[in-house]
């Protein structure tokens, strides 16, 4: 729960990137949207307002703690058109519901079998429906992050840095087209993330990696000492994509 709360407090970059994509997708009143990998629910809550009572938002995430945080953020009168469910790309609701939109902000790199996930998403969309996702274009981890995760030990390193399956924009384009999607947008743009100090850097990745490393571990005090009093900047190749299921299928 601590890591999920930390994620909700430190995920401004993910929230902004997802919101930019959502504005490009532009769901409207009455639309049905799946937020795949909704995290702590920032985008799902926003979309629920956009689609109104005649629309519906299904927001799923396999991390139970993040779903709890998402539910707790709803006020005492939660919207009736928004559901938070513990589920993943493999078992999100798809049997008796078809979506106008699938939004997946900052998630696809966590999914190992991208082909079966993209096929399942394609099949869950209505004709003309859109799948929008953000990720990074085959990035390199910042040296300081690798250094810190290695100090936490081989098991932690494996469960964090090595558990992410990055792919390039050209990989996603080829995969999408082989499934039958039309590529409406495939954009890569550099983005610099600024951290005021080393603690903000550690907290950001503690949230991102679901608390898989112990941020109080004495082993990482050396990193704290080394970067004490410094602000940090990380530049990443952000990827935004919108894929459209053809109307005439």
Ligand X SMILES: C[S@@+](CC[C@H](N)C(=O)[O-])C[C@H]1O[C@@H](n2cnc3c(N)ncnc32)[C@H](O)[C@@H]1O
Residue 11 or 81: the one with the smaller Cβ distance to ligand X is 11
Q: Does the footprint of ligand X cover residue 141 (CB under 6 A)?
A: no
Binding segment for ligand X (CB under 6 A), chosen from 8-16, 123-131, 163-171, 215-223, is 8-16
Q: Six-digit token pair at 99?
A: 């979506």
Q: What are phi and psi of 57, to 5 degrees?
A: -125, 125
Piece in contact with ligand X (CB under 6 A), picked from 33-41, 136-144, 151-159, 164-172 = 33-41
What does the DSSP assignment read for 154-220? HHHHHHTGGG---B-HHHHHHHHHHHT-EEEEEEEEEEEEEESSHHHHHHHHHHHTTT-S-TT-GGG
Query: In the complex, which residue's CB is closest to ligand X?
Result: 39
Q: Is 88 in the site for ligand X (CB under 6 A)?
A: yes
**Residues ≥6 apart with Cβ < 8 Å to 168:** 137, 138
Give, for 126, the enclosing helix (H) or strand (E): strand 125-136
Contacting residue, 3, 6, 14, 33, with ligand X by CB under 6 A: 14
- Which of 31, 89 has the CB closer to ligand X? 89
Q: Does 24 bind ligand X (CB under 6 A)?
A: no
Report the residue from 45, 66, 167, 212 that binds ligand X according to the rule CB under 6 A: 66
Residue 131 contacts ligand X per CB under 6 A? no
Considering only 61-69, 138-146, 159-167, 234-242, which stretch makes contact with ligand X by CB under 6 A? 61-69
Rounded Cα distance between 17 and 11, Å, is: 10
Yes or no: say if 144 and 232 are a contact pair by the CB < 8 Å rule: yes
> Does residue 38 belong to the site contacting ligand X (CB under 6 A)?
yes
Q: Determine how β-strand 56-61 pairs with β-strand 82-86.
A: parallel
Pick 87 or 176: Cβ nearer ligand X:
87
Strands 125-136 and 232-244: antiparallel
CB closer to ligand X out of 129 and 207: 207
Alpha helices in the chain (DSSP H): 2-10, 12-25, 42-51, 64-72, 114-124, 143-151, 154-159, 169-179, 198-208, 221-226
Q: Which is nearer to ligand X, 22 or 227 (CB)?
A: 22
Residue 105 touching ligand X (CB under 6 A): yes
**154 and 195 in contact (C-beta within 8 Å)?**
no
Site string for ligand X, 188-227 (x = CB under 6 A): --------------------x-------------------
Which residues sit at the interface with ligand X, rule CB under 6 A? 11, 14-15, 18, 36-39, 42, 61-63, 66, 88-89, 105-107, 110-111, 208
């Amino acid at each position: 729960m601590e890591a999920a709360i930390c994620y909700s407090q430190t995920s401004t970059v993910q929230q902004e990137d997802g919101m930019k994509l959502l504005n490009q997708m532009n769901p409207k009143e009455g639309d049905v949207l799946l937020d795949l990998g909704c995290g702590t629910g920032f985008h799902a809550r926003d979309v629920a307002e956009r689609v109104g009572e005649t629309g519906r938002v299904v927001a799923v995430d396999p991390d139970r703690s993040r779903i709890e945080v998402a539910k707790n953020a709803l006020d005492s009168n939660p919207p009736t058109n928004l559901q938070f469910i513990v589920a993943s790309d493999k078992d999100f609701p798809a049997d008796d519901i078809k979506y106008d939109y699938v939004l997946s902000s900052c998630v696809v790199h966590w999914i190992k079998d991208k082909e079966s996930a993209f096929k399942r998403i394609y099949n869950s969309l209505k004709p003309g429906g859109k799948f929008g996702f953000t990720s990074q274009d085959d990035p390199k981890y910042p040296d300081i992050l690798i250094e810190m995760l290695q100090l936490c030990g081989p098991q932690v390193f494996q469960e964090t840095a090595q558990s992410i399956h990055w792919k390039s924009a050209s990989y996603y384009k080829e995969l999408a087209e082989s499934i039958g999607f039309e590529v409406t947008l495939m954009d890569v743009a550099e983005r610099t993330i600024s951290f005021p100090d080393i603690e903000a850097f550690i907290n950001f990745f503690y949230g991102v990696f679901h608390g898989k490393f112990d941020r109080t571990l004495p082993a990482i005090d050396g990193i704290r000492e080394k970067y004490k009093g410094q602000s940090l900047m990380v530049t990443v190749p952000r990827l935004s994509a919108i894929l459209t299921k053809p109307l005439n299928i």
